[in-house]
Amino acid sequence: DIVMTQTPLSSPVTLGQPASISCRSSQSLVHSDGNTYLSWLQQRPGQPPRLLIYKISNRFSGVPDRFSGSGAGTDFTLKISRVEAEDVGVYYCMQGTQLPHTFGQGTKVEIK
Amino acid sequence: QVQLVESGGGVVQPGRSLRLSCAASGFTFSNYGMHWVRQAPGKGLEWVAFMSYDGSHKYYAHSVKGRFTISRDNSKNTLYLQMNSLRAEDTAVYYCAKEQDGPDYWGQGTLVTVSS
């Protein structure tokens, strides 16, 4: 199974400042169809997960442009350009390239 | 708008069975693969199972293979998860999610508690 490792596990951030989360996979996430099925999800307290980014860098409908994704192969990054209060929650990377699909451990973003 | 509504959760004794349902609306259900994902209390997300749009392919996490069965009824726009031989470690909120290049829409989840 592909292991997804996120760093850091906790990220205290000042409002208006940037935040960055790294996700590393134990194998390349490039699918045989040429796509890389790496997603980022946000889970606010008490809420279900919500898709932010799919296929490394594509923002899902309604996601603010302060969220961006990048990376390739086995190394990926989610960046929040300027953290707002509503961004508090846990962020997960997930690979959909190989079954079983797997999630990172989650990174808790909180306001300092 | 896309809506996914899970139901069927509750408290069940170890070794017993439970069937979860996920009612879908707002999109053409029969065109999309669907996932079940769970989250134990205070823990992270764990992928459980996936079924292709037409039901021809199904996949499971190692932890549930042989005990859980995913199915769907496209005429009823509903996804199911039959859970047998339940264990304490199956206690979690179970979410269904629609798949399109990633799990793009999620339900609110249904809580399953396995306890004697």
Q: Which of A101, A102, A105, A108 to mutate to test the interface with B (most CBs of B within 10 A)?
A: A101
DSSP H helices, B35-101, are: none
Do A39 and B44 make contact, defined as CB atoms within 8 angstroms? no
**Model pLDDT, residue A38:** 98
**Model pLDDT, residue B50:** 98
List, for residues A14-45, the tens digit of each pLDDT value: 999 999 999 999 999 999 999 999 999 999 99
**Model pLDDT, residue B77:** 98
Alpha carbon separation from A93 to A53, A78, B29 (Å, rounded):
9, 9, 25
**Model pLDDT, residue A55:** 98
- Cβ(A32)–Cβ(A102) below 8 Å: no
Q: Which residues lie below 8 Å from residue B64, measured CB to CB, with a gap of 6+?
A: B48, B49, B83, B90
List, for residues A52-87, the tens digit of each pLDDT value: 999 999 999 999 999 999 999 999 999 999 999 999
**Model pLDDT, residue B57:** 97
Counting as low any pLDDT under 50, the low residues of chain B are none
Of B45, B100, B104, the CB nearest to A92: B45
Q: Cβ contacts (< 8 Å) between A48 and chain B: which residues? A: 95, 106-109
Q: Cβ contacts (< 8 Å) between B61 and chain A: which residues? A: 100
3-class DSSP state for residue B31?
A: helix
Do A96 and B102 make contact, defined as CB atoms within 8 angstroms? yes
**Model pLDDT, residue B66:** 97
Of A35, A51, A106, the CB nearest to B44: A106
**Model pLDDT, residue A96:** 97
Closest to B95 (Cα-Cα) out of B19, B18, B20, B2: B20
**Model pLDDT, residue B19:** 98
